[in-house]
Structure 1
């Protein structure tokens, strides 16, 4: 008890005044908050009750409207009646779901379940009647009359639910009205007592803290006019002046510490920025190395197949076709040896792709056709070298070759402006055998890339290294329908290496 008394005596006048005012204001505020919350709760409950009344009544209206719509449709077969009936049916079931969530009493729950079951049975019969009427079944009216009979039960259940809601709403109103009356009387009493207590304390303490606060304000302004290296203010008293002085001293010390920490942080951030620049440079070198490594993985399997085709053609023809084949193959070799850069114009990539398809057409004859469609100006965009040929090779080998009647390959390049920037869409589609979803998922996983392959995985990695977040890759396929490979990227006319 003595410690508590000493503690109280050491408290300043301001703290005591604040304590008293805090108690009074806290009591008033808490009760006002409670009253406001209670009032909002009452309003919300009344609003919910009225909403339930409206929803229950709408069940009667919708059920009656649906019966009329079904009857009208069975007579006239008007599509508008059928569509309106379907909309009203969904609206009725939605209303039932809302009522099931809002009504919490056990009696209401069982009535709503009865309404739901009866409504489902009613609509099942009416749907059957509509189906039989559309199929010209002469006994369709039996299902309609059965649904009409169930509709009477639905109306009865809804009326029971409305009566139950009215009865529960009346009981809730009486309860809330009594609570509001009691809380209003308590609030008036407490506000009056608190007002008198506050006035008494205010008159007693009004002159007890003005002078100390003035002195502290004067000292604070004098110290605030100096720099951060000021000496601490030495005040022994424990009143408001002492508390504020201690706080000021602590604040001054913290500011000096924060400034020193900020200087150290600037030095650290500068070093970190330099290290980040070095890391970015190393990542750039790594991407270039990855690009060169991926580009170098050209599978000679196609070259061997082409040579076999050329040798067979030379056996059956004189020399003209063989010369064309050899020329096309030479162009492929020359394209790889001549173009040492990682990036090339799309026009050159389309040209070498046509050379490759020309070689394959000698093998597949009329089973293989192709088409190239390009928007004006798109052939000059920059793409990774050997971006199209590996895709076309996979398309022919895995999509068109297994198909007896062969197929068609279409390469389409479109240009579109988005947010002031030109975006290129390059889409390669075929009418081959396609892939199952499981096989497509395996192809797109890219978990393993064969060492001697420049297939889809290789093209994907080189494309993403070049365009990163400014490009996207997509592959779609359907068994028996074909496959589509799509590249989207922001136009960036580069030359040489990325």
Structure 2
């Protein structure tokens, strides 16, 4: 860690420690106050609940004496159990100031329970009069418990009034202390920031002045910075740069001279390439020549030769002009048919070409010169090496949101590593390259992915000895997301 970072981290740590200390102190006192309030509130709630339960028990006892049924007796037992639990809680509320009052309060609760039990015993022994006397005594004790509850709560309020006021005063004093601490931290932070900024800006100003002098061509001024951090190292490197700047200028001049010579060489190379192009056959001249030969063959009665020349001219024109353009499936299928016509003239009965085309899909756009390289690859590997020829099937199918174009052959198939090379867009050398177009399957895959903006555009199914099927998945709406990333094999 460098010196500037240490200074910044030190400042941050000090501020965080102070802030954390203040926050922890405030949190501690607030939590303490909240716990005290909760304890007092719990006392009040328990005592009020005990008063209510004692009255319910007396009412249940009266109901039982009037109607001695099991339901009323169960009500008495429930109230008795609740009073017993709350009596134990009240016992925990004792302190030096309320010990005597709470002891009397607990004795009253025990007396109420005992009187209730005595009333039940008298009633079971047919002592109705004695049971009613015990009921009256229980009622009196319950009322006395209610009055004593109010007395104890009032005493508690008076006892804790001083405590409340002391906590409020402490809270106000703590708030004032927090304000003074905040002001002190702000002052110290501003003071440290001013000193820290001077330690950075002053050396930077010296470096700026030295850079200004260097920009004027003065290389005789020594650069010195009074600092012990990274800026001093920067000044040292700047001084080193000043010492070497003349050598750099010489090197730049040499590079400029070499760049000029290289530019001249490039101009000479372009001129030689232009002259080489001038010596090549003009494509338009070639098209016109093929058309002239086609018409002459037609006039001489060689209609098949004429059609073949027309297909060659059309295929050549399409290959040279539409490689970088977007075409429809209709145009691609038309040029593919011209290619097949040429190959049928070459292979005759050895080539069997089946088509299954959904005419409603031919308006879909596709990169130019996409289908021919795929069919050409099938021609090279499924038809040409086989003396008996081969079968190539071409299909265009509508699959809802997409159009699927399939090219399938009955050739020797393709190895798994070769499929992976095509998927990974590796350039083929002696294999997978169409002779007419010079475009391999990997280039077709790359162009389709760039065109549609997704990876899942082509599927290759092949096994050694079982032929090959290449499927192109064309979305009707370009840019839709694909379910799977990559190519499915």
TM-score by length of 2: 0.39
TM-score by length of 1: 0.38
* Higher RCO, 1 vs 2 (CA within 8 Å, ≥6 residues apart): 1
